[in-house]
Amino acid sequence: MIDDPHIGVIGLGYVGLPLAVAFGKLLPTTGFDIQTERVDGLRNGYDKTLEVSAEELAAARWLRFTAQQDELSPCNVYIVSVPTPVNAHKHPDLGPLLRASETVAQVLSKGNVVVFESTVYPGATEEVCVPVLERGSGLSFNTDFTVGYSPERINPGDKEHRLASIVKITSGSNPATLAFVDALYQRIIQAGTHPVSSIRVAEAAKVIENIQRDINIALMNELSMLFNLMEIDTGEVLAAAGSKWNFLKFQPGLVGGHCIGVDPYYLTHKAQELGYFPEMILAGRRINDRMGAYVANRVIQAMTQKNISLVNAQVLVMGLAFKENCPDLRNTLVVSMITELHKFGLQVSVYDPWVDPEQGRHEYGLELIPAPEPDSYHAIVLAVAHREFVAMGAERIRNLGRPGAVLFDVKQVLPPEAVDGRL
C-alpha cells in the first residue's frame, strides 16, 4: 500500500502524544492539535500531562508539531486520537471525533489510510466517521482511501505499562489495510499486535475492556456499602478472600477518568438504539456514579459521631485528580464528593500537588490551596493515593487536622486502626 509512511497524528493528549513521539523516532510525523498553547508547550519540550519527558520529545527527531491544518497535507497516514466524552445526559458526544474527521477530510488524498484510536461503540467508525471523510474529501471509501481502527490502551500515570509494552489490537476496512496497519504498529509496539477480522470487533473489544472493570469495581463498591452497615472492614474481607488463587482482586473506590466512567455509556447507547436494555452495565454505572456522594455522607456521619459541629467546619480534601500520580482531572468523582460536602455547609479546601491550579479553576471552578495548614481541619479526606500522600503516613496527615479530627481514607492506603473510616 504505502511504501513511505508520513504519519499525521490528530490530537496530542494522553493518547496522541505518545503515539506521535513513538512514530517520530522512526518516520516523518506531524502532530496536530487545535490548542495552540499545547503545541507551543510541546515545541518547547514540555508535556503538561507528564506522560512524555523532555528527553523523549527530543529523541523524536522526525516529529514536528503544528496547529495549522494545511501542514497535515504531506501526510499519507492519519491517526485520529481525540477524546470521546459523554454529555450531561450520559449520551455519547461525538463532536470532537466528527471535527477531527472533518479536519482529515480536508487534507485526505487518494491512497491514504486513516486510523482511528478513539473509543466508540461498535460500528461508529464506519457509520459515522467514514461518511464525514467521504463528504469532505470527495473520495470514495475502500476505493480511494481506506480506514483502520486500533483502540488506545493508554493508562495515564502508569510508568510500567506504556504504549510500547501493551499489546495493540489492529483492524482494517479490508485485508490489505489490516496488513498495513498491523505492520505499521508492529514498528513501535514491542509487546506485539493482535489483528482482528473487522473494525467492529476491535471497537467492541475496546469498549468491553473498561466495562468489565467498571462492573467489577461497582460490585466492590456495593459490598463496601453493605459491609459498612454490618460494621465489617471491607479491606480485611477482600484480603481474606484474595487468599484464594482465582479471586479477582478489585477494590472499591471513586471511578473517574476518561475511560471507565465513560466508555460503558457508548455501548449502552448503541444497545438501546437496537432495542436492548443493558441492565447489568447500567446498574454498575449507577452504583459507581453515586460513590462521591456516598463518601461525603460517610465523612459527615463520622464527624457527627465525634460531636463535631458541621456549621462552617473545615474539611481538607487531599487529591483532585481522578487517579494517583497523575494530573488528569477528566470526570474525577472527587468533585461530586466536594459538591455533597458543600451541601452541608462545610468549608472545603482542596490540595493536589499534581494538578495545575488553573485547570482546577477552569474545569470545576475550584480554587486549590498551595499547601495545607497544620492544625486547621475538622476532617481530612484522603481521596487520591498520590505517592506524596502515602509517604506522609497517617500521623503526619493527622497533624494537619485539629485534635479529634476525622480522617477518612478513600483509597485504603493507611492502616485501618489509624483512620476513622474507609471504603
Which of these is catalytic: 75, 129, 259, 326? 259
Write phi, then psi, for 193 (nearest 5 degrees): -120, 165
pLDDT of residue 82: 97
Q: Which amino acid is at 322?
A: F
Q: Could you tell me where the beta strands, DSSP code E, fall in 42-127?
A: 63-66, 77-80, 113-116
Write phi, then psi, for 374 (nearest 5 degrees): -60, 150
Write phi, then psi, for 224 (nearest 5 degrees): -60, -45
SS3 state at 328: coil
HSE at residue 67, side-chain half, CA atoms within 13 A, is: 10
Beta carbons within 8 Å of 8's beta carbon, 6+ residues apart: 29, 30, 32, 72, 75, 77, 78, 79, 104, 107
pLDDT of residue 179: 98
Residue 312: DSSP 8-state: T
Q: Is 259 a catalytic residue?
A: yes
The residues pairing with 333 across neighbouring beta strands, listed in sequence order, are: none
pTM value is 0.92
Q: In what order do the strands lie in the sheet with 421-422?
A: 347-351, 314-318, 377-382, 401-409, 421-422
CA–CA separation, 66 and 45 (whole Å): 14
Q: In what order do the strands lie in the sheet with 113-116?
A: 63-66, 29-32, 7-10, 77-80, 113-116, 146-149
Nearest CA to 408 out of 326, 305, 330 is that of 305
Buried b (16+ CB within 10 A) or exposed e, 149-169: bbbbbbbbbeeeebbeebebb
DSSP3 helix / strand / coil % (the chain, rounded to 5)? 40, 15, 45
Q: Which amino acid is at 283?
A: A
Nearest CA to 256 out of 333, 326, 321 is that of 333
* pLDDT string in tens for the chain (423-residue length): 798 999 999 999 999 999 999 999 999 999 999 999 999 999 999 999 999 999 999 999 999 999 999 999 999 999 999 999 999 899 999 999 999 999 999 999 999 999 999 999 999 999 999 999 999 999 999 999 999 999 999 888 878 888 999 999 999 999 999 999 999 999 999 999 999 999 999 999 999 999 999 999 999 999 999 999 999 999 999 999 999 999 999 999 999 888 888 999 999 999 999 999 999 999 999 999 999 999 999 999 999 999 999 988 999 999 999 999 999 999 999 999 999 999 999 999 999 999 999 999 999 999 999 999 999 999 999 999 999 999 999 999 999 999 999 999 999 999 999 999 999
Element (H, E) at 407: strand 401-409
CA–CA separation, 17 and 129 (whole Å): 22
pLDDT of residue 240: 96
